[in-house]
Each structure stands twice: as structure tokens, then as C-alpha cells.
Amino acid sequence: MVEPVSAVLGVLVAVGSGTANEAGKQLWETAGALVRRITGREVAAPATATERQDLAASIVAACADRPELLAQFLQLTRGLPGPPDWPAGAPPRLPSAPYVFTDRREILRGLDEESARPFRGRPRTVQLHGPEGIGTTAAVLHWGWRRADRFPDGQLYADVRGATPGETAARLLRRIGTPDDRIPPAAADRVDALRGLLGERRVLVVLDHVTSTAQVRPLVVPGPGVCTVVVARERFAGLGAVHLPLGPLPPRDARRVLTGVAGKAAVAAARATLPAVLDRCAGHPYAL
């Protein structure tokens, strides 16, 4: 089921993207008249992402006891060209997970719990953090593939290193299947388009190599079927996320990783030097 605010926001984005031409202006006149009827006041066409979000919330609140008006508003853009549906056939999936993986039971359990908890209006968000080479990306990819059935509409991955929210939104829209000529030129409109499209989906979004809250906060979609995992080196506040710190592997699991990569025979042959190797790697999966 589509979350009402996300659905209304999607209509506002679709209407607003065409206000520069005559047909778009006429559509806003129709939409504006309905908004006046719903809210009881004159409303100018929203020009920013914040204005659209606020107006969407106001429309939904005003329609709480008049669902027929909300339904009428959601029909405004029927027949207009918009972002494509999810790609036909197989849904988008995460990059391949490492073939050698061990331990991380607490991390996997934390991801399971947050992704399955009741929505109740609070976005399902996890921040997985740990030093470089500790395996944060590997852990979420392993979990995502194992829990693919929870996200039948797909799993989206973006390496956000050095990217703005608008740039990342454009990448994710392309991953979904939006052609370049349908991606809004303004960063805020790209984010709105992504939020409107994801709001009705059961989807996992993985944002990797995040360096600040501001880089991803607009991309956390408050949809009832959306789970967002933010992967970073440092812990930071402001996302309302469950924090899952990742540390070094214990010696037993470090040996399992090394055995999985090098093979039992090689590990057995290096028995004399193995303790020193494990000590130098310090439980870092990529060092192993």
C-alpha cells in the first residue's frame, strides 16, 4: 500500500515538473483549485522540496475524514508521462557479496530486527560503521542477498563517495530504469522524484561510503516497505538510525576467513607462521 504523504508528494513532483510549459500551468490550475478545496486556502505552486513536503503533509491531514478528495487528488496525473515502473523481469539487486564470510551474527541480527520492525511512521534505517577494511560493506551485502525475499521490488546500491544527495538520487533513478531525459535537472526535484517512487515499494537501499548526515538524510525514504542501510567509517547522528558498530573478527573467525581464501592445505603448510600472520592482520577481513 502506498504511504499517503509519499503518494501525494509524487503527484506534486509530477505536476511541478511541467509548470514551465502551458500544459503544465493548466494542470497546476486544476490541482490548485482542488488544493484550495481541500485546505480551504489559496496555495501557490510549491517551488522547493521543503514546500512540496509541507504541502503534501497538509493535504493528507486535511483529507483525514474526506478520503474521496484524497483519491481525486491522486488521480490528477493519470495519463501523464512519468517515471517508469520498476524494470520488467528481475528486480534490481545488490553487487555480489564476498564468497568468504563468517561471524557478524550480532550485525546480521540487528539488520534483521530493524528491517522487520513495525513501521509506525518511522523510517527503517540502520547505520553500519567501522574502520576501513573491517568489512562493513561485505556484511550488508551478505545480509541483503540472504534477505532478498523481504524486498521483492529490489535492492538499490550507491557508492556515495564525494556525491551530493541530488547526484546520488540521479544514480538511483537510473538504476530503477528512469531514462536521462526524465530525470529532473534540479537536485531537490531528483530527490523528490526518488522519494515519490520508492514510497510505495518494498525495497532495500544501501548507501555506501557515507561521510556525513547531510549527504544522505534527504535520501532516507519514509515508506512502509523501505529499509535504508547507511555504511560509514564514523558514527554520526541525525538520521534516527539504529547504530551497529563493526569491529575486528575474533581469532577463530579470522582463521576461518584465511582458510576460506587460501585453502586448508596452504594454511596447514604455514602452521608455524600462522599466528604471526593472524596477529598482523588484526582481525581485518580485507587484510586477511
Q: What is the pLDDT of residues 253-272, one digit of tens each?
A: 888 888 877 788 887 887 88
- Assess if residue 98 is contained within a domain: no
Between 23 and 101, the more confident residue is 101
- Assess if residue 88 is contained within a domain: no
- Assess if residue 287 is contained within a domain: no
Give the β-pairing of 203-210 and 124-129: unpaired
Residue-wise pLDDT for 19-53, tens only, equals 444 555 667 778 888 888 998 888 887 877 778 88
What pLDDT score does 77 carry? 63
- Assess if residue 92 is contained within a domain: no
Using the predicted structure, report yes or no on whether residue 1 has a pLDDT greater than 50: no
Please answer whether residues 256 and 230 qualify as being in contact, where contact means their C-beta atoms are separated by less than 8 angstroms.
Answer: no
Using the predicted structure, report yes or no on whether residue 15 has a pLDDT greater than 90: no
pLDDT level of residue 16 (50, 70, 90 thresholds): low
Q: Are 192 and 276 members of one domain?
A: no
The region that residue 62 occupies, defined by phi over 0 for left and psi between -120 and 50 for alpha, beta otherwise, is: alpha
Between 251 and 37, the more confident residue is 37
Q: Are 259 and 216 members of one domain?
A: no
Using the predicted structure, report yes or no on whether residue 242 has a pLDDT greater than 70: yes
Residues forming a β-bridge with 242: 126
Using the predicted structure, report yes or no on whether residue 244 has a pLDDT greater than 50: yes
Of the listed ranges 78-87, 254-263, 272-281, the one predicted with least confidence: 78-87
Using the predicted structure, report yes or no on whether residue 130 has a pLDDT greater than 70: yes
Highest mean pLDDT: which range of 76-90, 104-118, 180-194: 104-118
- Assess if residue 83 is contained within a domain: no
What pLDDT score does 72 carry? 87
Using the predicted structure, report yes or no on whether residue 139 has a pLDDT greater than 70: yes
**pLDDT, average across residues 45-74:** 85
Q: Which domain holds residue 263?
A: 251-281
What is the total count of domains within the chain? 3
- Assess if residue 18 is contained within a domain: yes
Residue-wise pLDDT for 189-241, tens only, equals 889 888 888 887 899 999 999 999 999 999 998 888 999 999 999 999 889 99
**pLDDT, average across residues 51-79:** 84
Report DSSP state, residue 154: E
Using the predicted structure, report yes or no on whether residue 281 has a pLDDT greater than 80: yes
What pLDDT score does 84 carry? 46
Q: Side by side, which strands form the sheet with 154-159?
A: 154-159, 203-210, 226-232, 124-129, 242-245
DSSP for 189-247 reads HHHHHHHHHHTTS-EEEEEEEE--HHHHGGG----TTEEEEEEESS---SS-PEEEE--
Q: Are 241 and 267 members of one domain?
A: no
What pLDDT score does 87 carry? 58
Q: Are 163 and 274 members of one domain?
A: no
The three cell numbers of residue 72 are: 481525486
- Assess if residue 114 is contained within a domain: yes
Q: Are 257 and 163 members of one domain?
A: no
Q: What is the pTM of this model?
A: 0.71
Using the predicted structure, report yes or no on whether residue 183 has a pLDDT greater than 80: yes
What pLDDT score does 112 carry? 94
pLDDT level of residue 88 (50, 70, 90 thresholds): low
